């Protein structure tokens, strides 16, 4: 099978690696825009701009691409999957309308209300309803969480400490602090509990889940400091998401959402990312995303057993082949993100990276997130999250140790990382 992968981050490197190494159907793998890690396993294309859908369609026709796998949310929200399907090209990734489950938090919350999916109590408001929005905040005994409606690159959520802070957050969003994404806001109840991520591969009607994972969103050890895109993850998070909880997630969350999307005439084909809050054995939805998560994917696909290409292509054709996923996983994986100093605010780019081969010799798997080649073809940092260092083992403890033993070999100026990725999972053992 010939596949085109869209995207350029650590998630896409993991997708490319899994398609290459965990399938017997893979023939030609191409990536756009790609990154130096992705190009270790995939070929370049002449696609200059992934927003130019015609160019992508022409490439697919010329190279006889059988399947396009779309990694990030932005192209999905811009209708790339719709245009590819209209051109007769099988695509793993939801339509623009179905991707609203991520691109509009108000839409997602309304879907959950309509289809009885457990989530935090909420209301949404547009900028003409400032007074109602501020008054609603006073209804909550604990300060509620404030969310910009639209896509804000993971930054549009404020968890305030006081009601005053919550009100200021609403005023800032309506004042344009998040651009168009903040033109409407969701105000919702603060949920206690522990977070987990579950990915469901969906064909519009049916689904199969992959190993549950746990992300570490804050920049600092012990979950302190600013929210980031994610500083590390481990999988399977099977002590937190027990089989009983997974069963509830499937029955009360994923299946009703898929049925609801179909009833709304916007069936969901792709990876449905369920961001969950688990409290006293009960899962509730924090957010849905319309794509794989980063940095969870690197860990989830490391433990995946089955035929990954068969899984994605059968889902894209609307007839998911559940036998493509084995119920066992291949041990545990811990993925530690190496970030550039300053992330998630401003950070430097262009620092030379060394030691990747040495780290690989320590049995770590390295995924590239924000890297590039300079004019001398040297590897340099080119993003906030630079690399993911994955350790695998038959226990979570061994997986963590392998990742952390490899990290010192990788050097770039201003390298920062959390020292406690995976420790949450050990608490249960």
Distance CA 24, CA 310 (A): 8
**Which H or E run includes 67?**
strand 67-70
Omega cis (within 30) before 179: no
Q: Which does 195 bind (CB under 5 to 8 A by kind): ligand AMP, ligand GLY, none?
A: ligand AMP
Q: Which does 294 bind (CB under 5 to 8 A by kind): ligand AMP, ligand GLY, none?
A: ligand GLY
Which positions ≥6 away from 377 have C-beta within 8 Å? none
Residue 275 as a binder of ligand AMP (CB under 6 A): the answer is: yes
Residue 149 as a binder of ligand GLY (CB under 6 A): the answer is: no
Residue 50 as a binder of ligand AMP (CB under 6 A): the answer is: no
Contacts of ligand AMP in 220-239 (CB under 6 A)? 227
Q: Which does 393 bind (CB under 5 to 8 A by kind): ligand GLY, ligand AMP, none?
A: none
Distance CA 344, CA 231 (A): 10
Considering only 68, 166, 191, 196, the residue that binds ligand AMP (CB under 6 A) is 191
Considering only 82, 149, 195, 294, the residue that binds ligand AMP (CB under 6 A) is 195
Contacts of ligand GLY in 204-243 (CB under 6 A)? 215, 230
Distance CA 116, CA 260 (A): 10
Site stretch for ligand AMP (CB under 6 A), options 183-191, 319-327, 341-349, 376-384: 183-191
Alpha helix positions (H), 145-209: 163-174
Nearer to ligand AMP, 111 or 145 (CB): 145
Considering only 1, 89, 98, 120, the residue that binds ligand AMP (CB under 6 A) is 120
Which positions ≥6 away from 98 have C-beta within 8 Å? 261, 266, 267, 268, 269, 270, 290
What six digits make up the tokens of 120?
């935090």
Nearer to ligand GLY, 136 or 288 (CB): 288
Judged by CB under 6 A, the number of residues near ligand GLY is 7
Q: Shortest gap between Cβ of 147 and ligand AMP (angstroms)?
A: 6
Site stretch for ligand GLY (CB under 6 A), options 77-85, 239-247, 290-298, 307-315: 290-298
What six digits make up the tokens of 127?
């900028």
What six digits make up the tokens of 125?
């408001």
Nearer to ligand GLY, 79 or 154 (CB): 154
What six digits make up the tokens of 3?
């596949």
Considering only 289, 302, 335, 392, the residue that binds ligand GLY (CB under 6 A) is 289
For residue 200, report the phi and psi dihedrals to the nearest 5 degrees: -115, 125
Q: CA separation (Å) from 131 to 118, 163, 188?
A: 28, 14, 16
User: If you ran DSSP here, which 8-state letter would residue 144 be given?
Assistant: P
Binding mask 1-30 for ligand AMP (x = CB under 6 A): ------------------------------
Q: Which residue, chain included where needed, has tokens 């780290």?
A: 359
Cα radius of gyration rounded to whole Å, the chain: 21
Considering only 195, 203, 296, 307, the residue that binds ligand GLY (CB under 6 A) is 296
Nearer to ligand AMP, 227 or 363 (CB): 227
> Are the beta carbons of 235 and 198 closer than 8 angstroms?
no
**Which H or E run includes 180?**
none
Residue 159 as a binder of ligand AMP (CB under 6 A): the answer is: yes
Nearer to ligand AMP, 149 or 287 (CB): 287
Considering only 293, 306, 383, 391, the residue that binds ligand GLY (CB under 6 A) is 293
Q: Shortest gap between Cβ of 275 and ligand AMP (angstroms)?
A: 5
Distance CA 345, CA 322 (A): 41
What six digits make up the tokens of 244?
């009983």
Residue 331 as a binder of ligand AMP (CB under 6 A): the answer is: no
Binding mask 138-157 for ligand AMP (x = CB under 6 A): -------x-x------x--x
Site stretch for ligand GLY (CB under 6 A), options 124-132, 219-227, 286-294, 411-419: 286-294
Considering only 100, 217, 252, 418, the residue that binds ligand AMP (CB under 6 A) is 217
> Which residue, 32, 107, 122, 153, is CA-closest to 268?
107
Q: CA separation (Å) from 45 to 33, 53, 56, 86, 109?
A: 8, 14, 10, 22, 39
Which positions ≥6 away from 408 have C-beta within 8 Å? none
Q: Which residues bind ligand AMP (CB under 6 A)?
A: 120, 145, 147, 154, 157, 159, 188-191, 195, 217, 227, 275, 286-287
Query: What residues make contact with ligand GLY under the rule CB under 6 A?
Result: 154, 215, 230, 289, 293-294, 296
């Amino acid at each position: 099978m010939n596949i085109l992968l869209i995207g350029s981050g650590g998630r896409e490197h993991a997708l490319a690696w899994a398609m290459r190494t965990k399938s017997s159907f893979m023939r030609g793998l191409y990536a756009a825009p790609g990154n130096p890690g992705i190009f270790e396993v995939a070929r370049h294309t002449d696609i200059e701009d992934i927003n130019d859908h015609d160019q992508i369609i022409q490439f697919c026709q010329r190279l006889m691409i059988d399947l396009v796998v779309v990694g990030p949310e932005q192209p999905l929200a811009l209708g790339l999957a719709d245009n590819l399907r209209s051109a007769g090209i099988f695509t793993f990734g939801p339509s623009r309308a179905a991707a609203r489950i991520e691109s509009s938090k108000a839409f997602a919350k309304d879907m959950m209300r309509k289809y009885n999916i457990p989530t935090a109590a909420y209301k949404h408001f547009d900028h003409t309803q400032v007074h109602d929005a501020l008054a609603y905040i006073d209804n909550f005994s604990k300060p509620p969480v404030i969310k910009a409606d639209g896509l804000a690159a993971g930054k549009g959520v404020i968890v305030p400490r006081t009601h005053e802070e919550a009100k200021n957050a609403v005023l800032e969003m309506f004042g344009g602090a998040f651009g168009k994404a903040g033109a409407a806001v969701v105000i919702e109840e603060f949920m206690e509990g522990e977070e987990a991520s579950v990915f469901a591969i969906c064909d519009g009607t049916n689904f199969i889940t992959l190993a549950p994972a746990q992300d570490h969103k804050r920049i600092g050890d012990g979950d302190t400091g600013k929210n980031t895109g994610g500083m590390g993850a481990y999988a399977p998070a099977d002590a937190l998401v027990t089989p009983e909880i997974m069963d509830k997630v499937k029955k009360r969350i994923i299946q009703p959402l898929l049925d609801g999307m179909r009833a709304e005439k916007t069936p969901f084909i792709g990876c449905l990312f369920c961001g969950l809050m688990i409290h006293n054995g009960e899962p509730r939805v924090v957010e849905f995303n319309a794509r794989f998560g980063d940095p969870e994917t690197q860990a989830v696909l490391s433990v995946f057993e089955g035929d990954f290409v068969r899984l994605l292509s059968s889902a894209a054709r609307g007839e998911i082949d559940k036998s493509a996923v084995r119920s066992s996983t291949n041990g545990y994986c811990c993925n530690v993100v190496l970030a550039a100093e300053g992330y998630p605010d401003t950070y430097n780019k262009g620092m030379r990276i060394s030691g990747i081969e040495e780290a690989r010799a320590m049995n770590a798997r390295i995924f590239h997130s924000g890297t590039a080649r300079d004019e001398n073809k040297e590897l340099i940092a080119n993003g906030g999250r630079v690399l993911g260092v994955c350790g695998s083992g038959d226990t979570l403890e061994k997986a963590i140790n392998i990742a952390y033993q490899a990290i010192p070999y990788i050097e770039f100026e201003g390298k920062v990382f959390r020292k406690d990725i995976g420790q949450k999972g050990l608490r249960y053992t």
